[in-house]
Structures are given as C-alpha cells and as structure tokens.
Amino acid sequence: MTTIAEKLQAVRERIAHACAAAGRPASEVRLLAVSKRFGPLAVRAAAAAGQREFGENYVNEGVEKIEATADLGLTWHCIGPLQSNKTRLVAEHFDWVHSVDRLKIAERLSAQRPRHREPLQVCIQVNIDGAPTKAGVAPEDALALARAVAALPSLRLRGLMTIPEPAPDFEAALAVHRRTRALFDHLRAQGLPLDTLSMGMSDDLEAAIAAGSTLVRVGTAIFGARGAA
Ligand SMILES: *Cc1c(COP(=O)(O)O)cnc(C)c1O
C-alpha cells in the first residue's frame, strides 16, 4: 500500500517534471489537495507531509472538515458548484472559491463575508469547451463578469478556473488548456490583476502546466479512488 505521504511526493515530482519540461520554475505552480469524500484523518496525513492547501466540492462536507482540522491552520478552497443557499457557509468558512460563474453568487459571497476575515479569494469558473451541462461562464462573458466581481468589496478576484471534458491524449488536453490560458492573458491585458490559473487535475496536470496553469487541483493521485457519494 502506498501512503498518502508517498503519493503526495509522487505528485510533487510530476509537477516538478512538468515545470522543467515547460521551462517554468516549480515555484510557479501550487498544489491543491482535493480531499472530497475523504475524512479529516486523510487531511491530517497530507498536512503531516507538508500539504497546506485543500479543496472541497461539497460545502457541508467541507465545513465539517474545516472545523475538524481547525487546529492545523490550513487554507481551504471551495471548488464545487455553488447554489445560493450555500453561499453563506462558503463566505464564513472558506479562504478561496474557484467556482464563481454568475454575478448573483459573487454578490452574495461579498455581502456575507464576515468583516473580520480577509477578502474571499475568487476565481471565475469558465466553461471553456462549451459542454452544455457544465457550470462556468461562457468565455465571451468572462471579461464582464470579472470586472463586476473585481468591484465587489469583500472579494478579491485572483483568476480563472476550468474543468474541461477529459481529453483523449496530451495534445488534445494541451489545446483546450491553451484556450483558457489565452482568455486569462486577454483579461490581464484588459487590466485585471489576475495571478491564478486554476487548471489541471490528476489525469491532465502535465498538459495544464505546459499551458500555463499556476494551480493544479489533485484528488485521486493523492488520496486514491473515491467511493460513491
Ligand atoms: C474532484 C475534483 C478535482 C480532482 O480530481 P482528480 O481527478 O481526483 O484529481 C479537481 N477539481 C474539481 C473541480 C473537482 O471536482
């Protein structure tokens, strides 16, 4: 059996290789450990191996883990779909949210962010490949949404997030990730101070890093296969 510490180390090596292959310093890419469906003990094992940033899809499950590991002072990212009735929990408990895809949700998060906490760090989720059933703003609407989010007082806009459809091979994954990178560059050229491109998961992190990802979200390769809900 491979331990979480060993799997984490293997993922760090994959990231380092991908950065070297792309001619990028390894310090440019952060690793987010996606702990959904795993309990606080798995989070503690990863934290003991030096992992500080964790991602959760399901708000209630995430809040339970945040509270159960509060003694560790970890940083928590909400990466799952957001409904209006969950924004308060996200605003009160998380440090980051990657899945903002409409203004109404952003306005609620800003209004509900407790005054004593830092601004909530936000990425806008983009539906880069136009999959009809998927969350995310259409690429052509991303600039307007980014400007509106950047103006909200208790949010700090940091970048873009995408979850493309699984690609058949590296080249196909790279092509899709490059489209997100181009959109990211376009928004920056329009004056938005973005520093975070959240793309790449267990299966496609090499392609995402080749295209310019600054944050990869990795679950399975660290914690193992997830059971059903
Ligand atoms: C589950 C999930 C991940 C991690 O996926 P793996 O393939 O297990 O690495 C990353 N991002 C989001 C938004 C997810 O829901």
Q: Which atom of ligand 1 is nearest to the CA of 57?
A: 15
Closest listed residue to residue 150, CA positions, set 179, 118, 182, 187: 187
Report if pTM > 0.85: yes
Task: Assign 133 a pLDDT band (cuts: 50, 70, 90).
Answer: confident
The residue type found at 51 is Q
Q: Which atom of ligand 1 is nearest to the CA of 223?
A: 8
Query: In angstroms, what is the span from residue 148 Cα to ligand 1's centroid?
Result: 27
Name the 3-class secondary structure at 96.
strand
Nearest CA to ligand 1 atom 5: 219
144-199 residue pLDDT tens: 999 999 999 999 999 999 999 999 999 999 999 999 999 999 999 999 999 999 99
Q: Quote the tokens at residue 124.
A: 């806008």
Query: Where are the alpha helices (H) located in the chain, listed in sequence order?
Result: 4-21, 40-48, 59-68, 87-93, 103-112, 142-150, 170-189, 205-211, 220-223
Nearest CA to ligand 1 atom 12: 79
Interval 207-220 mean pLDDT: 98
* Top-level class of domain 4-219: alpha beta
Q: Please, what is the end-to-end C-alpha distance for the chain in angstroms? A: 24
Residue 229 pLDDT exceeds 80: no
Query: In angstroms, what is the span from residue 34 Cα to ligand 1's centroid?
Result: 6
Decide: 134 in ligand 1 pocket, CB within 6 A.
no
Query: In DSSP terms, which residues pair with 97 in a beta bridge?
Result: 78, 122
Q: Quote the tokens at residue 113.
A: 């962010």
Q: What is the mean pLDDT of the chain?
A: 97
CA dihedral 205→211→52→66, nearest 10 degrees, is: -80
Decide: 201 in ligand 1 pocket, CB within 6 A.
yes
- The pLDDT assigned to 228 comes to 57
66-81 residue pLDDT tens: 999 999 999 999 999 9
Share of the chain above pLDDT 70, in %: 99
Ligand 1 probe mutation, 217, 222, 223, most atoms within 8 A of CB: 217
Q: Quote the tokens at residue 46.
A: 């990863």
> What span, in angstroms and rounded, lies between the C-alpha atoms of 17 and 39?
30
- The pLDDT assigned to 1 comes to 72
